[in-house]
Structure 1
Amino acid sequence: MKDYIDVPISVKISRAQKEKLSQLSQKLNRSESELVREAIMALLGVYYG
């Protein structure tokens, strides 16, 4: 049994942010969606933690 649920989200970012995200994704060899998901989780952890 997994201890999480799937929640689909949509995030709007500027072209400049998209370019930076793409560069970071390539540098870290991780998907852009994974990086965005982790950033959101970190933000929620700080805000609600």
Structure 2
Amino acid sequence: MKEYKVVNWKMGLSKNNERLEDLLNQYAKMGWRVIHIGEQSTRIVFERDKNR
């Protein structure tokens, strides 16, 4: 069974790429993987196995 998490990304005035990379790596360490990043959106959808 899968579980999902939706995160709203807030763009800042600087270092957006670095902050986004840090956020993605933080979730990856917890077992989440990105399944969708909205092209014009600030929404990121993560997925992981619930029974891991």
Both structures adopt the same fold (TM-score exceeding 0.5): no
Higher helix residue share? 1
TM-score by length of 1: 0.32
Higher strand residue share? 2
